[in-house]
Structure 1
Amino acid sequence: MTTKDDVRQVLHRSLAEIGIPGIAAEIKDGDHTWFTTAGVADLHTGAPRVPGEHFHAGSSGKAFTAATLLALEAEGHLRLDDTVNAHLPGVLDVNGYDGDTITIRHLLSNTSGLFPTGLAPEIGHRYATRSGFDKHRFDTFTTDELLRVAVSQPPVGAPGERFEYANGGFYIAGAIIEKITGNSYADEVHRRVIQPLGLTHTHVRPTTETGYPTPHPRGYSHQFLKDGTDPASVTPENWQSLLEEPGLPPLDVTEFNSSLGHAAGNVVSTTTDMLRFFTALTTGALLPPAQHRQMWTTVSTEGGHWIPRSRYGLGVFELDPQATGGAILRGLGGSFWGSYVFTVGTPDGRHAIAVHTNTEWKTWDLMFNLIEAEFGITVRA
């Protein structure tokens, strides 16, 4: 049996152990919810974290993209097994990719063979160092630019062969939404996900927006390479060894243009809305049964630079029951400069936790420790 004190202890312990300025957690357990925090929302003023704060939801936005495409499938506008060339002819036919073999399902499950988009030199040269980030923080990416970045490096595998986390697949998925509907990605996500679920504090961030609605925490980042590092030399295996030396003050990254996220993750939300969104996805309240089943049909993430001992669906994940003592837990989450968020809960949506830190992901220990504290299980990563 766990208590609220167990969760609070994990939050407070994580501040120093992981280096988090402030953390907020909202928990739903049956018909009851409660909210708790540790640390601060603003390092300068010492202001505390408070309920209702808006934050960048990172790759949790992938679930919004997947849900929108699944809704379009339910209406007969497409099939998940349509090839990319069926909707965007030629976009993938470069650098060894084949748009006639990569499907929408491949894009949404990160099994397309696309390389890890965050390692593209075009991105690294702008944002990999703190001086580069400061210089380029208000740059705007167009959809065409993002589509070029998505295929700027050769494939890491054949379609369907393996899992590799790739934002570029979701850039392409977002472009397919726009091509099919004739509307903007943001408008379609609002129409098919945000509005039906009553997510009144959630929106897809427009390219003109560089701040957040009130209230919101300041965002702080240490996610930078040492000055002089060649971004082209960075790999999924060595990037952590190339990070700045510890002890440097964080960079305040609250104000920046996050258009780089696009359909791979550019949603602003709150812990309350993330709990509501997760509940709708895990219970099937948003999508018809056939599409709900497809969203939660998962593939192994082993070797694909994602959560250890997990499986990935379409924009969502499940923890391997062998790692949780048989417990079934589902989730969504993501990280961006100055923001890390995850929502994890039971398939029936009755018990879930939404957590946000005002710095990016640093370790899976935070999520696993909070799962252990809240759900009373041991997680073996």
Structure 2
Amino acid sequence: MADNAGREKLQRVLDWAVAEVGVPGIVAEVRDANGTWFGTAGVADIRTGRRRQPGEHVHTGSSGKAFTAATMLALEAEGRLSIEDPVNAWLPGVLDVNGYDGDKITIRHLLSNTSGLFVTGLAPELAHRYLTRSSFVKHRFDDFTIDDMLRLAVSQPPVGEPGERFAYSNGGFHLAGAIIEKVTGNSYAEEVEHRVTRPLGLTDTYVRPAQETVYPDPHPRAYSKLFFKDGVDPAAVTPENWESLIEDPGLEPLDVTEFNSSGGWSAGNVVSTTGDMIRFINALASGSLLPPAQHRAMWTTVSTEGGHWMPHARYGLGLFEFDKAAMGGRTLRGVGGSLWGSWSFAVGTPDGEHTIAVHTNTEWRTWDLMFKIIEAEFGPIGG
């Protein structure tokens, strides 16, 4: 448990995020043996100055991947499938294009981002739609079908053999969502509700319907600077150089609150609150949602080194665990995600007794913010 001085440190980090990092508004909710603490800095609405508040509905981005993995593992526990099943067992032929082999790529590969699928976010079709401010405004209400997403998943050649390396691919989770629907005969959203949100009592959490472009109240406005400079060729964007191609940080943010996020689907289109996300990661971290075998599978992690992803972390099935050495000898587990106008993460101890959930109403800006928050709440970090 962090003492009062620790919470003062945490509040200073929230204030720093607004003053120095350029975050419009940030919230942090902490739950431990002594109850709940809630802190905020900045605003929910730049125009009105409205402050952020507890219970806001926010987009959790790629945290939705953990909902997909948990649903899939619940199906495995019932004997409906195995995560060692090849994709072709459930979606025959879908992966047998462009150099992929659906007999070799398994559900586990999809959920651990080790399938060899390319980084879906770099698909030229997506880049052309959302690369610059002007293209985002033009395409912000475009609707994606499941067939669209499965086609995008294999629209570029593999980046490796199945199991060879970590590469963060939304397409793998779209395939997983399609398998969930094939196995159950129900929609992905229905299965997440049945197997995750309802059992955990996550009353403010849901998979966002494809055509929904607004959030329930209360919610913050969402602001983005996640755009490339005018004239950037989408084909030239790589995991190595994309940060250098981002537009001038001095430009005013674009209000992206109203936005069709259907392209996230089973790779990340869950709306939730910080309180619900604490309950969610506590259940996954501690093993209270899944049987022991599936819990072990979820937390069997792979290296993310060379994957141009979050530092000091290994990837499980839809979630992450920090390297103990980097966290001062502690084991910390979490989920997180970012998209236009939203960045969130929830991190806690494996026993579910000490957890923090954070949200900014703009996308990821720097890993320093996450690690400063973790250090303020859990104590010194670094190997």
Matched, 1:64 2:67: yes
User: What residue identity is the alignment partner of 1:88?
Assistant: L
Matched, 1:49 2:52: yes
User: What residue identity is the alignment partner of 1:126?
Assistant: R
Distance 2:308 2:186 in 1: 33
Distance 1:309 1:370 in 2: 15
Distance 2:249 2:318 in 1: 32
Distance 2:379 2:169 in 1: 33
Corresponding position of 1:194: 197
Q: 2:126 aligns with which of 123, 127, 136?
A: 123
Q: 2:85 aligns with which of 64, 82, 85?
A: 82
Corresponding position of 2:41: 38
User: What residue identity is the alignment partner of 2:258?
Assistant: E
CA shift for structure 1 position 246: 1.9
Distance 1:273 1:25 in 2: 13
Corresponding position of 1:318: 321
Distance 1:299 1:194 in 2: 27
TM-score by length of 2: 0.98
Q: Is the 1:368–1:379 contact (alpha carbons within 8 Å) kept by the matching residues of 2?
A: no
In the TM superposition, what whole-angstrom CA distance separates every residue of 1:1-49 from its partner, at most 9, and x where no partner exists?
6521100000001112211000000001114111110000000000000
In the TM superposition, what whole-angstrom CA distance separates every residue of 1:123-169 from its partner, at most 9, and x where no partner exists?
00001111111000000000000000001011110000000111000
TM-score by length of 1: 0.99
CA shift for structure 1 position 307: 1.1
Distance 2:115 2:328 in 1: 31
Q: 1:180 aligns with which of 179, 183, 197?
A: 183
* Number of residue equivalences: 380
Q: Per the alignment, in what secondary structure is the counterpart of residue 150 of structure 2?
A: helix
Between the two proteins, what is the percent identity of the paired residues? 71
Q: 1:275 aligns with which of 269, 275, 278?
A: 278
Stretches of structure 1 lacking an aligned partner (at least 5 in a row):
none
- What RMSD in Å do the two structures reach over aligned CA positions? 0.8
Distance 2:118 2:312 in 1: 21
Matched, 1:149 2:152: yes
4+ long deviations beyond 4 Å: none
CA shift for structure 1 position 233: 1.1
Matched, 1:224 2:233: no
User: What residue identity is the alignment partner of 2:164?
Assistant: E
CA shift for structure 1 position 309: 1.5
CA shift for structure 1 position 287: 0.4
CA shift for structure 1 position 227: 1.1
Q: Is the 1:26–1:355 contact (alpha carbons within 8 Å) kept by the matching residues of 2?
A: yes
